[in-house]
Structure formats: C-alpha cells, structure tokens
Structure 1
C-alpha cells in the first residue's frame, strides 16, 4: 500500500475517534500514521509486513496506553463537577428528607436528593454536599 494511503487511513481513524467514545480508534489511527511514515522511509518491507506492523503497533499501544489515558480523561472531567460541592443552590420545589426534587444551581436546574433531616421548602437555600453523576446531594442551609 502507498505511504499516503496509510496516512489517510490513520487520519480517518483519528477523525472517527472524535465522534465515538472509548479511546479505541485513536490507537489504530496512530498506528496507521506510523506505518505510513515507516513506508515513506522505506523500512516496512512487503505489504503483509505493513499489516503486521499496523496490527502490532495498534494492539500494543492500545494495551499499554488506553487505561492510563481513560483515567486521565475521567479525572479531568470530574474536576469541574467536584467544584459544585459546598455551593449554595435554591430549591425549585419542596423536598422532604431522603426524597428527590429539583434545585437551581448556577442558573441550571438539577435533580437533588435531600440528605438532611429537615424539609427543604421551595425557594430555600441549600448546600451541595456531594455530586453523584447528575444527582446533587443537598442539605438545608
């Protein structure tokens, strides 16, 4: 295969990675570009060797780097949500203890569970104690 075909394949796989979750196609895209570069330098050998290199580079890099990259991405995405803890929200409806209702925080409505012992009435301020996915754990202020 021509070197530029490997580069195009790698580039298309990298674009596909941007629209699919999981950091999976990234490694195949990089492998395609590496094989394209090696082909350009003339060190790949026959076509079957190019495919072996492509597969080997993709699988080895996937096994070595996917888990650390996923952990890093998850860590970054959690940082913004963690900043919501200890902030004040306003109840949009009455929320009994251990029940779920709606609160407004930073101008956006959120689902919230009242983890306190007292009722939270509509319009009352409450504190975010914990963020659990898209659910806030709140307590009356």
Structure 2
C-alpha cells in the first residue's frame, strides 16, 4: 500500500479522536498508521500484509502499554482543574423543583444544577452543593 494511504488514515483517526472523544482509543490506531506511513515514506518497502500486521501490532502494543498511563495522567489534570465545590453554599438563580434542572450562582459563576434535595428551591434561595458531576452541580436546600 502507498505510504500516503497510511499518513491519511493516521490523520483521519487522530482527527476523529478529537471530534468524537473516543476515550483515547483512536489515538493509538492513528499513531500506528502514521508510523507505518512514515516507514514507507523513508523507503522501507513492505508487502501489504506486513503493513497491516505492523499496524495492528503497533496499535495493540500502544493500547496495552500506554493508554492506561496517559488516561490516568489526563484524568488527574482534570481533577486538579475542577475546584472542590462540595459543601459550598450558593443560591438558585431561578426556582428549581425537586429533581429538576436549573441554574445556581456559586463563587460569582452560574452553574447548571440539579435539585437532589427533598425541598423545592425558590428563586434566590440558598443551596448547598452535595455532588459535582462534570459541570453540573447537585444541590439541596440549605435549610
């Protein structure tokens, strides 16, 4: 197969990883394709079956050796960037019924929130963060 096929395949896989957030799987297939394409570019001539075999071996090796390590490092960075908001008090911008979604103001910023408490939150009512799920706060009435 032509070296440019592998370079194009690698680029498509890396772009797909970014666009669809494939949980850090496609990056290894993309890098493996780029390596196979790079070998062809510098003149290493392999039959098509050997190129596919090398691609598969590089992708599986990358997945098994590096994925867990890289993903844990990226997850640590995410945790460090997310402030610890549990237990913080804020107030509801609008009224939020029990189990409903709404907006709360906390530390001068508006957040998406879910009322997980047993009481409705009136507009302007104080609330406490019980859990953080990404960029959504789970709150309950402070009283």
Q: Same fold (TM over 0.5)?
A: yes
Aligned-residue CA RMSD (Å): 2.9
- Label 1:51 to 1:103 Cα distance change in 2 as closer, same or farther (>3 A): closer
Residues 20-99 of structure 1: matches in 2 within 5 Å? 20=20, 21-91=22-92, 92-93=94-95
Instruction: State the alpha-carbon separation in 1 of the partners of residues 111 and 73 from structure 2.
Output: 27
Aligned to 2:6: 6
Q: CA deviation at 1:60?
A: 0.7
Instruction: State the alpha-carbon separation in 2 of the partners of residues 52 and 2 from structure 1.
Output: 15
Q: CA deviation at 1:14?
A: 0.9
Q: CA deviation at 1:58?
A: 0.6
- Label 1:56 to 1:29 Cα distance change in 2 as closer, same or farther (>3 A): same
Q: CA deviation at 1:124?
A: 3.0
